[in-house]
Amino acid sequence: MTLDDLRVFVAVCRAGSLSAVARDLSCTQSAVSQHVKRLERETGVRLLERRPRGVVPTAAGRVLCEAAADGIAGLDLALRRLGDLVNGEGGSVRITTGGTTVRHFMAEAIVSFRRRYPKVSLEFQTETSSRGCFDALLAGDPDLAWVTVGGPVRGIEQRPVVELPWVLAVRSDDPLAARPRIDAADLAGIRLVRLPPNSTSGAHLDTGFAELGVRTGSDTSVADWDTALLLAELGLGHAVVPAVPGLTAPADGGPLRLVPVPALRPLPVGWAVRRWDALSPLARSFADAVAASCTAVRGRGGI
């Protein structure tokens, strides 16, 4: 028994004629009859009764026709919805990420994606850490998570998109502001506005400091990079932060300077998913749009 058998049988019951269905399907009447006979062999009952002017379903045939028609209608609706997902005529993409990520990494991609798929819903769920994003993915709610890429996580696939160099954020009147670059020796003993040590990016930075033999102090901790930049601008300390796409500081006339720290290993960030091969076409399209946007910003000279 095949789906085609059921489709042809329902068509015959509605038309009351084998020949009429054969004409509609551009096939022979014998081919239509074979579909019906296959169903009768599978069910073990007679499904059609011949009349002088065509055929009508038997009592058993009516039972099968009603059930098959309902099932085919539901399947056709599902196939249309799947087609909408593929063609961008409906559906949603669910993304979990940190509070400032959308502005730094996704703004341009969201605009371009919305122009391409105006009827698709974008749903953002905020988490405070990469670990929180991984937990949300494992719970099965979001399609994609934007994270700081770190060590392996069971049940999660990570894909780096961009590596972020580190910069030292200082006020323009700080002696370090005039440097073209910051070396390891320049970092020794400075007071830092720190990212949480339990965050992936904070742990990455601490590892980098340890590799360079740098010891720093800190009396201020923040939950995100933007707050660290603000506090550095206010003169409450220095901040070593990743240079997110588009991050710039004026060469003169502004209170903040961003000085490269090339000795620190770049911070990899990108996508995490449960399985790449199971992503919907829309989710994959959004992930690709963000990656392309990050590359474009880099090409235009963003830090």
Query: Which of the four pLDDT bands, split at 50, 70 and 90, describes residue 85?
Result: low
User: What average pLDDT is seen over the chain?
Assistant: 86
Q: Which among 121, 124, 156 has a CA at the least distance from the CA of 272?
A: 156
pLDDT category at 280 given cuts 50, 70, 90 is confident
- Give per-residue pLDDT as tens, 22-57: 988 899 999 999 999 999 999 999 999 988 888 999
What number of other Cβ atoms are within 10 A of residue 117's Cβ?
20
Contact 56, 96 (CB under 8 A): no
pLDDT number for residue 197: 66
- Predicted local distance difference test score (pLDDT) of residue 81: 61
pLDDT tier at 87, thresholds 50, 70, 90: low
- Per-residue model confidence (pLDDT) at position 138: 86
Nearest to 8 by CA among 31, 167, 95: 31
Coarse DSSP helix, strand, coil percentages of the chain, rounded to the nearest 5 percent: 45, 20, 30
CA–CA separation, 119 vs 103, rounded Å?
22
Whether the per-residue pLDDT at 17 is higher than 60: the answer is yes
Instruction: Supply 191's token pair.
Output: 């007071």
Residue 86 confidence class, pLDDT cut points 50, 70, 90: low
Residue whose tokens read 């789906």: 3
Distance set, CA 278 to CA 162, 230, 282 (Å): 23, 40, 11
The mean pLDDT value for 50-74 works out to 88
- pLDDT (tens digit, 9 = 90+) per residue, 225-273? 888 888 888 888 889 999 887 676 555 557 889 999 999 999 999 999 9
The pLDDT tens digits of the residues spanning 123-139 come to: 999 887 888 899 888 88
Q: What is the pLDDT of residues 199-230, one digit of tens each?
A: 788 888 888 888 988 887 777 888 788 888 88
**Amino acid, single-letter form, for residue 89:** E
Average pLDDT over residues 165-184: 91
Give the model's pLDDT for residue 139. Answer: 82
Asked if 147 and 138 count as a contact pair (C-beta separation under 8 A), the reply is no
Contacts of 109 (CB under 8 A, 6+ apart): 286, 289, 290, 292, 293
pLDDT at 115 over 70: yes
Neighbours of 272 (CB within 10 A): 24
Q: What is residue 182's predicted lDDT score, i.e. its pLDDT? A: 92
Structure tokens at 279: 């992503």
Give the model's pLDDT for residue 262: 94
Question: In terms of Cα–Cα distance, which of 60, 20, 16, 17 is closest to 42?
Answer: 60
Query: Which of 195-199, 225-229, 288-292 is least confident?
Result: 195-199
Q: What is the per-residue pLDDT for 74?
A: 78
Cα separation of the two ends of the chain: 62
Higher pLDDT, 140 or 288: 288
**CB-based contact 81:70 (threshold 8 Å):** no
